[in-house]
Chains A and B, each alone.
Chain A
Amino acid sequence: EVQLLESGGGLVQPGGSLRLSCAASGFTFGMYAMSWVRQAPGKGLEWVSAISATGDKTYYADSVKGRFTISRDNSKNTLYLQMNSLTAEDTVVYYCTKVKATSDWFFDSWGQGTLVTVSS
C-alpha cells in the first residue's frame, strides 16, 4: 500500500522559512515523479511544484517560483519542499502527491496533508 506522510508544517512568521518533508513507502520511490499540491481551507486545489523521478527536472508555479525549492532523496524515499519568504497567502494545507505513471502528471496517491500557517 502506498503511503505518503508529510511533516514539517506549523506556524511561521511572515518572511520566514519552513521545510516540508514527505516520507514515502509502499512503492519504488525512485521510479516516480512527485509533486506538491496545496489547498486553502474550503478552497480549490493549486499545484505548487513537481520533480522528476531522478530529480534532474523541477517545475514550479509562478506563485512560488524563486521562493520554494523542491528536492528529493531517493536513498531515503523522501520528498522535500523548502519554502522561503513566506506570506499569508502561503497559509494552506500542503499535500505530497505521487504521479500515476512516468511522464503522466496525474496524481494517484496523496498524503494526508500538512498545514502551514503564516502569521505574526
Chain B
Amino acid sequence: EIVLTQSPGTLSLSPGERATLSCRASRGIRSHLAWYQQKPGQAPRLLIYDSSNRATGIPARFSGSGSGTDFTLTISSLEAEDFAVYFCQQRTDWPLTFGGGTKVEIK
C-alpha cells in the first residue's frame, strides 16, 4: 500500500499569506496525485488532479506541483474561504489512498 504523509498537520496563517502544504508518498507515484479541500460539514472538493491541473472552477491562487514522491499544494494568497482541511490522494496503485490531511487555520 502506498502511504501518503502530509505535513504539517496544522498550518496557522493569516488571510493574504501564502500557504505551502506537503504530501510525500512512500514510493514513486509519477504525477498521479490529487488534492481535495474539505470544509466542516461538507464533502471534499477536488482542487488539483495529476499533481498540477486545476479542477473545473478552482481559482488560480491554488497550484500544485511535484512528481515521484514529493508534492506541494500552494495557495498563493489565503482568502477567508480557504481555511479548511486539505487531503492528498494517489491513484497509481490499489488500494487508492489518502493522506492524513493538513488543517489550514486562521492565525
The interface bits of chain A over 32-66 (1 if a CB of B lies within 8 angstroms of the residue's CB, else 0) are 00010100000011110010000000011110000
Q: Which of A45, A110, A111 has the most CB of B within 10 A?
A: A45
Q: With both chains docked as a complex, state the minimum distance between the C-beta of B2 and any C-beta of chain A, in angstroms.
A: 11
Whether the pair B43, A46 counts as a contact (CB closer than 8 A) is no
DSSP class of A's interface residues: helix, strand, loop or mixed?
strand
Chain B residues 48-79 with CB under 8 Å of chain A are: 49-50, 55-56
Chain A residues with CB under 8 Å of B44's CB are: 45, 95, 107, 110
A105 at the interface (CB under 8 A from B): yes
B98 at the interface (CB under 8 A from A): yes
Interface residues of A (CB under 8 A from B): 35, 37, 44-47, 50, 59-62, 95, 100, 104-108, 110-113
27 contacts between A and B (CB under 8 A): A44-B87, A45-B87, A47-B89, A47-B98, A59-B95, A59-B96, A60-B95, A62-B1, A62-B95, A95-B43, A95-B44, A100-B46, A100-B49, A104-B49, A105-B91, A106-B46, A106-B49, A106-B89, A107-B36, A107-B46, A107-B89, A108-B49, A110-B43, A110-B44, A110-B45, A111-B43, A112-B43
